[in-house]
């Protein structure tokens, strides 16, 4: 039986779902919209006026210099509201859409804390390898020249190197639940040593089945700690984690809508007599499709489409579960550096990746749920830039 849900926020669409997720989802766009919208037609978004500048924060001059080198001047809303209380040692519940700068919101004050007191250790847990590596990369940039040590603990990478890095007692350990649990089991990682803990993208960790692991990690942490909790949504299960994780927290919410207003969304209709790949080809050769992220449903279909686009002369690459971690990182690096114009992915890439200047997200295959749709299209229109999301139906 077909069910109909009203999307949250100001999305002017109906979302339809059946018992066949990903196979029978349709967004009926309100009348009068273009099928192939131009970024110039995007509506204006209200500009946030921050209370602080980065130079106003009570942080080390070395850290301020690294922030300036990254061309950061004015904090985003989550940074503006979260950094001061984190610097004061408060527990935080941060509720924010993807692409709002929350990684810097917790890294900057925690780096400062370790710089001022070398005994401080921070554990950061994220749902995916890609997000963990992104956090690790930002940590490296923000902490350059400050003698802050770190280790990354994720699947698909060398156990030996990770164990060796942990032996050096790093200030920061960043990892995914599965690998962190393995290292705890091998007695290479002692969570009782961490004074600061960050749970990032908690709703995603719950979605993919890590709630028991998260509760287990919390049970191993010291009672006296600073706890930072970030999530886009607060479900009943997520709330269970909050109750045991933070103490007298400050809740900071900068999540106004589920859809970022500067993403122009539309559908691309495919009739029975049209070839879907040919339609995609016609889109990709249009002006303005400068950096395109395309989502497919399965590893096999994504790789097949990548091969087809490459044979047609497009600079395209793919990331999915059949790729090794090093292959995935290489392809992401090529996409970031504009060595390839098109990146194709399964939903492994829909959370947490911060890739600058993605002009278009294309849902070549329909997502399995409304939330998956939200996270996919959040790869464009980031940090107040404009973007376009197109869904093939």
Q: Is there a domain that residue 190 lies in? A: yes
Q: Is there a domain that residue 37 lies in? A: no
Q: Distance between CA atoms of 319 and 355, rounded to whole angstroms? A: 14
Residues 88 and 132 in one domain: yes
**Nearest by Cα to 380 from 277, 265, 280:** 265
Alpha helices in the chain (DSSP H): 61-69, 77-87, 102-116, 129-142, 159-167, 177-185, 202-207, 211-220, 236-245, 276-284, 299-311, 325-336, 370-377
Residues 120 and 239 in one domain: yes
Contact 128, 351 (CB under 8 A): yes
Q: Is there a domain that residue 120 lies in? A: yes
Residues 68 and 152 in one domain: yes
Give me the mean pLDDT over the 244-271 stretch.
Answer: 83
Residues 296 and 361 in one domain: yes
Total domains in the fold of the chain: 2
Q: What is the pLDDT of residues 97-113, one digit of tens each?
A: 766 889 999 999 999 99
The domain of 132 spans: 54-253
Domain CATH for 206:
3.40.50.300
Q: Which of 253, 277, 306 is the last residue in one of the domains?
A: 253
Q: Which of 208, 234, 253 is the last residue in one of the domains?
A: 253
Q: For 16-30, 227-241, 310-324, 346-360, which range has the lowest pLDDT when averaged over its residues?
A: 16-30
pTM: predicted TM-score of the whole model, two decimal places: 0.71
Residues 355 and 384 in one domain: yes
Return the residue matching tokens 């997520």: 238
pLDDT at 117: 97
Q: Is there a domain that residue 69 lies in? A: yes
Residues 295 and 203 in one domain: no
Q: What is the pLDDT of residues 66-84, one digit of tens each?
A: 999 999 989 999 999 999 9
Q: Which of 236, 253, 270 is the last residue in one of the domains?
A: 253
Q: Distance between CA atoms of 293 and 30, rounded to whole angstroms? A: 25
Q: What does DSSP say about strands 387-392 and 263-268: parallel, antiparallel, or unpaired?
A: parallel
């Amino acid at each position: 039986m077909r069910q109909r849900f009203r999307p949250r926020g100001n999305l002017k669409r109906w979302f339809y779902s059946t018992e066949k997720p990903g196979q029978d989802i349709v967004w009926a766009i309100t009348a009068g919209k273009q099928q192939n919208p131009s970024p110039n037609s995007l509506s204006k978004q209200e500009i946030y006026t921050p209370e602080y500048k980065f130079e106003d924060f009570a942080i080390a001059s070395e850290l301020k210099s690294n922030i300036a080198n990254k061309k950061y001047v004015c904090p985003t809303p989550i940074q503006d509201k979260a950094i001061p209380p984190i610097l004061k040692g408060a527990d935080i519940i941060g509720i924010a859409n993807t692409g709002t700068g929350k990684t810097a919101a917790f890294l900057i004050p925690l780096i400062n804390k370790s710089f001022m007191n070398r005994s401080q250790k921070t554990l950061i847990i994220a749902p995916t390898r890609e997000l963990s590596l992104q956090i690790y990369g930002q940590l490296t940039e923000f902490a350059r020249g400050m003698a802050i040590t770190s280790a990354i603990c994720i699947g698909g990478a060398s156990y030996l190197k990770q164990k060796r890095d942990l032996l050096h007692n790093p200030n920061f350990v960043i990892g995914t639940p599965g690998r962190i649990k393995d290292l705890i089991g091998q007695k290479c990682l002692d969570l009782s040593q961490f004074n600061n803990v960050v749970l990032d993208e908690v709703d995603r960790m719950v979605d993919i089945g890590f709630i028991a692991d998260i509760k287990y990690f919390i049970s191993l942490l010291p009672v006296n700690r600073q706890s930072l909790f970030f999530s886009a949504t607060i479900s009943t299960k997520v709330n269970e984690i909050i109750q045991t994780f933070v103490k007298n927290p400050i809740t900071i919410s900068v999540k106004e809508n589920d859809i970022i207003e500067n993403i122009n969304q539309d559908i691309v209709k495919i009739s029975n007599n049209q070839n879907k790949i040919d339609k995609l080809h016609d889109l990709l050769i249009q002006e303005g499709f400068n950096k395109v992220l395309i989502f497919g449903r399965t590893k096999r279909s994504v790789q097949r489409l990548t091969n087809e686009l490459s044979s047609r002369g497009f600079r395209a690459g793919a990331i999915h579960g059949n790729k090794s971690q090093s292959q995935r990182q290489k392809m992401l690096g090529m996409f970031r550096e504009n060595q390839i114009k098109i990146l194709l992915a399964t939903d492994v890439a829909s959370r947490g990746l911060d890739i600058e200047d993605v002009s278009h997200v294309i849902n070549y295959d329909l997502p399995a749920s409304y939330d998956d749709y939200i996270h996919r299209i959040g790869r464009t229109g980031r940090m107040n830039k404009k973007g376009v999301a197109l869904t093939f139906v």
